[in-house]
Amino acid sequence: MRMRTIICHLRMLFWVPLLSAGVPGSSELLSEDIRYSGVAKLSVAGSCTGSWILPRGGAPEDAPAYLFSAGHCYSTSFGTSEVVRSREITTGMASFRYFIDTPAQRRVTVPVRRVVWASMANTDVAVFELGATVDALRRQGLSPLTLGDHVEDELIVRGIPVSGTPIEDQYLREAGCQFQGVFNLIEFVWTFRRFLRHDCADIRGGSSGSPVINRRSGEVVGIMSTTVEGESPCYLGTPCVIGAEQPEVLAGSYSAPVWGWNVCFGADGRFDPESAGCPLETRTAPVISGAPPRTIPRGRPWNASVPGRYRYGTIAERDGFCEHAAMGGWREGMILDPIPDVEGGYFLCVEAENGAVAMRHVRVDKTPPRLAPRFTFADENAAMVLRFEFSPAELSSYSYKFGAGADCDAPEGYLIYRRVPVRITGAGRLCLYGEDEAGNRTPPQGYDYGQGARIYRLTNGASLRESWLAPGAFATVFGTGLRGASATIVDHLGVRHTAMVLATLPSQVNFYVPEAVRLGRAYLEVGEASVETEVRSASPGLFFTNTEGLEQYGTGMRFRQDAEGFVGGLRVRLQVEPLEEGLERIRFLLPDDVKLRGFVSLWVRIGDWESNRMTVRLR
């Protein structure tokens, strides 16, 4: 029955934006247990997780209770050197006992009174004072966590992820992790120091602020900050490890270290960032204004303004942070030193008279976007409609022009796409290009319209990702004037193969590639349109039809015996069973001694070719 459903699904499969994300390993929902009751769902600046922390030696019963979470759970607009101290909060709430089997009336909801300390300068931590005492929370049956002084190899994260999680599963869950080292990071405008890297599962929206816990000692050593889930290095959702010649994206999640913070609690149980030995910054850093944006296409002066007296230095990111920069003498006025005209990242470091240091990071990027423009150009109600898909920072803006005789190589006449679909009538030529955040451009592309059938994009029929053809696989083309079109593949020997068409629209055709097509260069003819392509032995793709279990359906894998499966970060055996034309049943075979529960990411790899990734739930 499911097989027939997928065939029908393919016949009706037309383009919609699809998102698929996943992280290594697995997590499981927790049933009510006092040992886990100190973790709460936090609502201050969005949905986050927090944990009730006591100093290792305990605290008086009348001491206020403190909740540790991520800095961006207090504010998502932190400056790169900003520190917040003792600010009242009027609408924040922390909900404890957030288990899947706990009735809502048994949860413990406590107001968040104020933020004691928060920053995203080198760290990403916020410490909140709750509107309850230590004794009040204990009387509610809650159990606090404590801070550790070192990191173990085996870790646990407990949090409440919500993004991409079904509503019925948005409760406290736990995942085991491996500690993978300490790294310095850059993510968007922020620089993070000595963050813990780990392979914790199901780190997504809502997980921010989750406690990262030593499995053996049960002590908190990190506060969950970020994970790798995007495709633009060093941008939001794709932190870069820095310190080598070039920044590098390493898969996994990262947490801000909090070991050694026990000394920030006084004997009275109160959290005081100015306690002797407390490593937290409390001084006011200088404000840098007028400096260049985050990325620039070539070197230029810093043109930075700093109020008052200061001293400064600059350093390339591969050479270290501001403590390694050679600082000049005390001065006032503008900073006009040149940023080198060499690709790479550079820090401007400014020290105020109180010793606090502000840092501004700029990256010189001369490389064109590595992603091709993403767009649809479809026939809708007697007009062609142009839409673009953005992927900052690689595809941050688009420009286009159209008309009879439009010259795509001529710079004149291009318009900036304002995120409003563009309707185009008549006949002519569409020209477009994309730009990254620094302003580097993709090569211009040109497409004729209103002059018969055209093919703009060829994709795998399951994933709808740009691809080539493979014998016995489903494929999809996007273009114009395609309704009712037939499909023919002319292989490199000139032999014509008629493809079975499953469904057509004016802008899309789904079809099956005959198994007899020979490998090599080929021409695909769809109606009156044609495009040169290639036939390869495989084109792995997975259908987004089954969100549970390790049995899935895909296409483009039946003639390769070397296909590998991945369940999270675990490589597993794969069983590919050909079904009807183009359709394959894919079984991911876990070792007998591996038991996974929760949400995991699945994908297939054949040589250098990877399928799309999909997230499923294992019970």
Instruction: Answer whether residue 250 is part of any domain.
Output: yes
The model carries a pTM of 0.78
pLDDT of 152: 95
Neighbours of 477 (CB within 10 A): 25
Structural domain boundaries, residue 11: 2-21+540-618
Structural domain includes residue 282: no
Pairing outcome for strands 93-96 and 83-88: unpaired
Q: Torsions phi, psi of 2, nearest 5?
A: -65, -35
Q: Tell me, yes or no, whether 372 lies in a domain.
A: no
Residues 430 and 489 in one domain: no
CATH classification of the domain holding 221: 2.40.10.10
DSSP 373: P
136 sits in which H/E element: helix 134-139
Residue carrying the six token digits 């018969």: 452
Q: What is the pLDDT of residue 23?
A: 34
Residue 179 backbone dihedrals phi, psi, to 5 degrees = -70, 130
Phi, psi of 611 (to 5 degrees): -80, 175
**Same-domain status, 50 and 142:** yes
Residue 34 φ/ψ, nearest 5 degrees:
-60, -25
Name the domain boundary from 400, 430, 447.
Answer: 447
Rounded distance, CA 251 to CA 228, Å?
6
DSSP 415-454: EE--SS-EEE-SSEEEEEEEE-TT--BPPPEEEEESSS-E
Which CATH number goes with the domain that contains 478?
2.70.50.70
Answer yes or no: do 205 and 227 share one domain.
Answer: yes
Phi and psi angles of residue 531, each rounded to the nearest 5 degrees, phi first: -150, 145
Q: How far apart are CA 285 and CA 474, in angstroms?
A: 58
User: In this structure, is residue 520 part of a structural domain?
Assistant: yes
What does 252-279 look like in DSSP terms, one character per residue? SEEEEE-TTGGGGB-TTS-B-TTSTT--
From the number of C-beta atoms within 10 Å of its C-beta (0-12, 13-18, 19+), residue 555 rates as buried
Question: Could you tell me if 330 and 344 lie in one domain?
Answer: yes
Number of residues in the chain: 619
In a domain, 285, yes or no: no
Q: 56: buried, middle or exposed (CB in 10 Å: 19+, 13-18, 0-12)? A: exposed
Closest CA to 108 of 59, 146, 142: 142
Q: Give the type of residue at 327.
A: M
DSSP secondary structure string for all residues of 117-133: EEE-SBS-EEEEEEEEE
Q: Strands, E, within 507-560: which ranges? A: 508-512, 520-526, 529-535, 541-542, 551-555
Q: Indicate whether 190 and 325 sit together in one domain.
A: no
Report, as ranges of residue numbers, the positions in the chain whose pLDDT lies below 50.
Answer: 1-25
Co-location of 254 and 172 in the same domain: yes
E-state strands within 81-188: 83-88, 93-96, 108-119, 125-133, 145-146, 154-159, 173-187
Domain termination residue (choose one: 507, 535, 563): 535
Distance separating alpha carbons of residues 517 and 500, to the nearest angstrom: 13
Contacts of 349 (CB under 8 A, 6+ apart): 312, 313, 314, 315, 322, 325, 327, 357, 358, 359
| CA–CA distances in Å: residue 201 to residues 175, 197, 233, 318, 535 | 6, 12, 21, 30, 37
The phi and psi torsions of 8 (rounded to 5 degrees) equal: -65, -40
As a whole number of Å, the CA-based R_g of the chain is 28
pLDDT digits (tens, 9 = 90+) for 433-453: 999 999 999 999 998 888 778
Contact (Cβ atoms closer than 8 angstroms) between residue 505 and residue 482: yes
Domain count within the chain: 5
Same domain, 79 and 131: yes
290 within domain boundaries? no
As a whole number of angstroms, the distance between CA 255 and CA 225 comes to: 5
Q: What is the DSSP letter of 517?
A: P
In a domain, 391, yes or no: yes
Q: Are residues 324 and 391 in the same domain?
A: no
Which domain CATH number covers 601?
2.60.40
Domain end call among 487, 502, 535:
535
Distance CA 67, CA 133 (A): 12
Same domain, yes or no, for 477 and 392?
no
68 and 187 belong to one structural domain: yes
Domain identity same for 141 and 197: yes
Question: Given this model, what pLDDT does residue 27 score?
Answer: 83
Residues ≥6 apart with Cβ < 8 Å to 78 = 71, 72, 84, 118, 119, 120, 121, 190
Q: Is 404 helix (H, G, I), strand (E, B) or coil?
A: coil
pLDDT for 145 equals 97
Question: Is 575 in the same domain as 599?
Answer: yes
Alpha carbon distances (Å) from 62 to 37, 67, 137, 546, 570:
20, 16, 11, 52, 48
Query: Is 281 a domain residue?
Result: no
Contact 545, 508 (CB under 8 A): no
- Angstrom distance (rounded) from CA 125 to CA 112: 16
Q: What is the pLDDT of residue 483?
A: 80
Residue 393: asked if its preceding bond is cis (omega within 30°), the reply is: yes
